[in-house]
Structure 1
Amino acid sequence: MDGRDITNANSGYNPQNPFANRDPRLAATVLYNGASYRGRAVETFRPNGLDSPDGPESFNTSPTGYYLRKFMDESRDLGSATGSQAPWIYFRLGEVLLNYAEAQNEAAGPDASVYDAVNRIRARASMPNLPVGLTQTQMRDRIRHERQVELAYEEHRYYDVRRWRIANRTENLPVRGVAITKDASGALQYSFPTVQERRFNDRNYFLPIPLKETQANPNLVQNTGY
């Protein structure tokens, strides 16, 4: 798998074996059915999966069928943990490289330094280098995808899609989960139901100006849609 979107016919993606041959950062970011965690395989299948709504803590199970793995330390004793002593990372090298790649591509196109920045991140994840000969637009798309994958759950996506002015497309798509049914023979069947509908209006690119500010300065014009 080289990171192609699963909708790409050449990606090798199989919806009935959806976690095989994927970008290694998938397994490093989320827990899914069959992933190894704390000495056993995660079970989100139904019936009777330990980590599904049929498990011992049905009230606490994931509506999507996935659980967060990023930031988790498997060595911690959950029974006696009182908090984390790890420093919080505000700015890491991966973001620095992606910020540079995006800025340089916009300024000068996909030169060697842009490729180098992105490929350094991909190499760390055991992913192949980007294909050579990308246009500026193609590189822009690859950088945006790389940010979505590499910086997942690091509080960037919300702002990225707004500054790129693509939120009206990306944020009007439903949130889908994975539902897995295990039959009597042990075979698994996968489906991908909608678990949440989302709506994004153009006004959501901005926050409303607080009423007290418009009252204090009548020359302020409220943002459109509020």
Structure 2
Amino acid sequence: MPSGGRDSSDGLDPWNTSKSGYYLRKFLREDLPIINPWAVAGVQNWIYIRYGEILLNYAEAQNEAAGPDASVYDAVNSIRERAGMPVLPSGLSQSDMRERIRHERRIELAFEEHRFYDVRRWKIAAQTENATAKGISINKNADGTFNYTVTTALQGKAFQEKHYWLPIPRSEILASNNVLEQNPGY
């Protein structure tokens, strides 16, 4: 992050400094101020579900149920075409389409709080969640150019098999007259 920026560790409000050096502009309304956006009419809205997510949900479910039929291609390609991307190649196998849909979800739904649940549903969290998170450090040189250095933003993450499930609250186990059993590992 450039030294002295509003959201840098040298800024006015360093509590909001990014650990990775990356900042998000997706869905941001530029007409609202960064500092105290509530002081003007309007607030930064949060979109909970979008048509793109519905299409990707459908494509994933249909591919798992019946393989990559025309409706799966149509759903994914409509998202890709909207973004100016080429359509998917024809003749993909079910596993190839699965990987394409997962990649498309990673890109299309970035920063929309889906990845946490996606990797758990796909049972790949042990691989994705135990990787060291990388970041970027940006420093401005005296001549106005910038140096970019890849950094470690977060290390020591420890996803375990039990993390695929949440613990069942004790009150729920007791309310079931102990019919419910705690999830493994808790």
* Fold equivalence (TM over 0.5): yes
Contiguous gaps of at least 5 residues in structure 2:
none
Q: What are the superposed Cα offsets for residues 105-133 of structure 1, whole Å, 9 maximum, x if unpaired?
A: 11222222211211110111122222333
Q: What are the superposed Cα offsets for residues 18-64 of structure 1, whole Å, 9 maximum, x if unpaired?
A: xxxxxxxxxxxxxxxxxxxxxxxxxx335x55654344544432221
The whole-number CA distance in structure 2 between the counterparts of 1:222 and 1:77 is 47
Residue 193 (structure 1) aligned with residue 151 (structure 2): yes
TM-score, length of structure 1 as denominator length: 0.69
| C-alpha RMSD of the superposition | 2.4
Q: For 1:75, which of 31, 48, 57 is the aligned residue? A: 31
Task: Report what 2:180 is aligned to.
Answer: 220
Report the CA distance between 1:81 and its aligned residue: 2.7
TM-score, length of structure 2 as denominator length: 0.82
* Range moving further from structure 2, 182-191 or 65-74: 182-191
* Range moving further from structure 2, 68-77 or 183-192: 183-192
Residue 211 (structure 1) aligned with residue 170 (structure 2): yes
- Secondary structure class of the residue paired with 1:178: strand
- Secondary structure class of the residue paired with 1:191: strand
Contiguous gaps of at least 5 residues in structure 1:
1-43
Cα pair distance change 1:204/1:82, threshold 3 Å:
farther
Q: What are the superposed Cα offsets for residues 128-160 of structure 1, whole Å, 9 maximum, x if unpaired?
A: 222333221111011011111111222221211
Identity fraction in percent: 58
The whole-number CA distance in structure 1 between the counterparts of 2:74 and 2:55 is 9
**Counterpart contact for 2:60–2:101, Cα < 8 Å:** yes
The higher relative CO (CA closer than 8 Å, separation ≥ 6) is in 2
- Secondary structure class of the residue paired with 1:153: coil
Q: Which has the higher helix share?
A: 2
